[in-house]
Amino acid sequence: MAMAMATTPEPNLIFDARVLQSEPNIPSQFIWPDHDKPSQDSPELQIPPIDLESFLSGDPLVVSKTTKIVDEACKRHGFFLVVNHGVDLKLIAKAHENMDFFFGMKLLEKQKAQRLVGDHCGYSSSFTGRFSSKLPWKETLSFRFCADDHNINVVQDYFFTKFGEDFRNFGKVYQEYCEAMNNLSLRIMELLGMSLGVGPMFFKSFFEGNDSIMRLNYYPRCQKPELTLGTGPHCDPTSLTILHQDDVCGLQVFVDGQWQSVSPNPDAFVVNIGDTFMALSNGVYKSCLHRAVVNNKLARKSLAFFLSPKMDKVVSPPNNLVSTKNPRIYPDFTWNSLLEFTQKHYRADMKTLDAFSDWLQNQNSMGEYV
């Protein structure tokens, strides 16, 4: 089986946004193949937002209408918007403000949390330490969130450990933001359970005590935006992504054979299905294929919460999503095994879940435990 393995990185390549954002030319490692380069005229994706507060009110007509909209969207492209979500707007604003501060720091300061090869958390300036071609024009800071009683302040502790006392309040903001995202994601799981016909509690219970990932994304200005991508085409290997954008356009979703833009909406969260949930739904709901483009005028930032189950939780669809007409598509697996696959064996793209399934079956056939 051919796999998108990591290419040997060039040790001297450094992505320092404060320097590169003004350079008239970009390093060749950031230039994408012609078939991946962004077009200048992507249409706007038209999709009705989901009023979560109205859905949770329990009104039968609202519930029926909402589940139908979500069901159609998730079967078609795996993407929808949520408004009236109940998340404190001041908390969202503070999370964005802190993100501005972090990515404005000097490179050496950010590198105190440098992401190590094979790890999924830490600071990353593009993927210069892992890949040598089709590099994304971005910086990220990723950290773990655990919704169990044993890791109550895991986010706050992470920032204190990496950056010291001055970042204690910084970490508190993201601890609170992650807790809000956890609560929101479980409410969305009620909605997905209803839309898939397994009831509101099945997926909500499955993701209680989740072991998730929070990521701050920064896409600097680029003087050659037509040659590169902020993030290449991919489906998230996680279960559910809840994204809040700033006011700069850049997110695109692949729908009906073309890339379509998703304009920022400060009142809405972008929600997309990931590979793990696609497997959990036995392929009924699609993992959303998306990417990010950049521009030469304004930097873009976003907050992404990646809901994932406990590391050892077995991902297996409920019985009523499996039938003779819709047999099992993917083997049972744990989130830990898929995460390890994407960090050590495969560069996440639009075929990650299929590649992982093939790899997993091959490992099992050789008698290896995964």
List CB contacts of 261: < 8 A, sequence separation 6 or more.
Answer: 42, 43, 44, 45, 249, 251, 252
Residue 280 identity: L
**Segment holding 62, helix H or strand E:** helix 60-76
**E strand spans, the chain:** 50-51, 79-83, 122-125, 139-146, 211-219, 231-234, 240-245, 251-255, 258-261, 269-273, 290-292, 300-307, 314-315, 333-334
Helix crossing, 168-196 with 89-103: angle to 10°?
Answer: 120
Structure token digits, residue 140 = 């990220």
CA atoms within 13 A on the CB side of 54: 14
Distance from C-alpha of 151 to C-alpha of 131, rounded to nearest angstrom: 32
Query: If you count them, how many residues does the chain have?
Result: 370
Q: DSSP letters along 243-304, please? A: EEE-SS--EEEEETTEEEE----TT-EEEEE-HHHHHHTTTSSPPPPEEE---SS--EEEEE
Distance from C-alpha of 212 to C-alpha of 304, rounded to nearest angstrom: 11
Distance from C-alpha of 156 to C-alpha of 11, rounded to nearest angstrom: 32
Helix crossing, 168-196 with 154-163: angle to 10°?
Answer: 140
DSSP 8-state class, residue 10: P
Distance from C-alpha of 303 to C-alpha of 200, rounded to nearest angstrom: 27
Which residues are marked as active site? 300
